[in-house]
Structure 1
Amino acid sequence: MVEIRADPPHLLEIFPWEIKKVLTNRDVGFFGGLELSQEQVYYHIFKYWDEKMASLVIHRGGHVPIVMRDLDTNTEHELFFKKWTSDENYVIHTYWKREFVARRGLKEGMLIGMYWNISSSCFCFSVLNNSHVSHR
């Protein structure tokens, strides 16, 4: 006898994509930076950072240098992370457009994944789906 399941087992993901994001026009536009919500930042980034570094971004409006490792191309890029002054969101900027949008051909609607790598203190990045995904 063979059991046929209506819901097949799911394979475990190799990387812990704590942040999955469908790219918006703001993320890939002319003045774009990769925008992250307050929830994404608090639950998936600041929990790994020391208090001094998080405080610099939250309370002082500082730009914190970060490294973003592109796992698809095995390259590392130096960018900056800050809190938008106009709302509660955060942004990865300065060279985002050149190093990711232009270099990787990122477009609105693509699905990306990211996580903070605690052992190397950097963001890990990948394009999870390069076809356009509908906004939900």
Structure 2
Amino acid sequence: MNSPTDDQERGVQFAAKRRKHTNPEASRASRRRFCSSKNEGGGGGVSTTLKLYEDPWKIKKILTESDLGISSRLLLATDLVRSQILPMLGLDHAIAADSDEGTSVRVWDLDSKSMHHLVLKRWPSSKSYVFIGKWNQDFVRRRELKKGDEIGFQWDPYNSFFNFCVLKRA
């Protein structure tokens, strides 16, 4: 069995041999080529974009006049509902959302820390989806929403409800 000093000595010898055979200029030139090809769109590099987190607000909407009117409904894009909402609700609720009655969903207002209930359904005239119910009373008037405000929804899988937040005021 080797003693610790024998292992240390071998490590020092290995490092010395490696330094002898490594050309620092060639190594620097190689790094420069890698960096310049990466920055020129060579595709072989590593991204230098720092991404601290993924945006949790998958469902975003900039409010329009029709979202704020007396019809008390929030119009949502069909593709957004199909990709971000229906899969979260489960099969029975997704089928109900396509019916005339719709399906009830709970919405937690993160800013005011209050729970609300809306109905998600497919709007027959436009084939888009809407949140109806007390949208106008519980969100538009209470939160003083205006045209151009950006709102967001995110699904909370642990509590089975949507979180709501005003992301940006107009």
Which band: TM-score by shorter chain? 0.7 to 0.9
Question: Is 1:70 paired with 2:98?
Answer: no
Select 2:139's aligned residue among 88, 100, 105. 100
Q: Hey, what does 2:45 align to over in structure 1?
A: none
Note if 1:37 corresponds to 2:113. Answer: no
Q: 5+ unaligned residues in a row in structure 1: which ranges? A: 1-6
Query: Does the 8 Å contact 2:87/2:94 carry over to 1?
Result: no
Q: Look up the SS of the partner of 2:145 in the other structure.
A: coil
**Structure label with greater radius of gyration:** 2
- SS for the counterpart of 2:142 is helix
Pairing 1:48–2:88 present:
yes
1:19 to 59, 69, 92: 59
Q: Distance in 2 between matches of 1:51 and 1:9?
A: 37
CA–CA separation in structure 1 for the residues paired with 2:143 and 2:119: 18
Corresponding residue of 2:97: 57
The answer as to whether partners of 1:37 and 1:88 remain within 8 angstroms in 2 is: no
Contact 2:150–2:166, Cα closer than 8 Å, also in 1: yes
Q: Distance in 2 between matches of 1:57 and 1:64?
A: 5
2:5 maps to none
Per-residue deviation at 1:87? Answer: 1.6
Q: With the length of structure 2 as denominator, give the TM-score of the two structures.
A: 0.67
The 5 Å alignment of 1:4-15 reads: 9-12=50-53
Tell me which protein shows more helix as a share of its residues. Answer: 2
Q: Does 1:128 align with 2:144?
A: no
Alignment match, 2:149:
110
Contact 2:156 2:162 in 1 (8 A): yes
**Aligned letter for 1:102?**
R
- Same amino acid, percent of matched pairs: 34
1:85-121 deviation per Cα after TM superposition (whole angstroms, max 9, x unaligned): 1022111111110000000000110011111211111
> Which amino acid in the other structure matches residue 157 of structure 2?
I
Partner SS state of residue 93, structure 1 = strand
Counterpart residue number, 2:121: 82
- Which structure 2 residue ranges, 5 or more long, are not aligned? 1-47
Aligned-partner residue type, residue 61 of structure 2: K
Q: Could you say which residue in structure 2 is the equivalent of 1:4?
A: none
Aligned pairs, number = 123
SS in 2 for 1:30: coil
Deviation at 1:11, TM superposition (A): 4.2
Contact 1:79/1:94, CA 8 A, preserved across alignment: yes
Higher RCO by CA contacts (8 Å cutoff, separation 6 or greater): 1
Task: Decide which structure has greater strand share.
Answer: 1
Decide whether the 8 Å contact of 1:63 with 1:81 is kept in 2.
Answer: yes
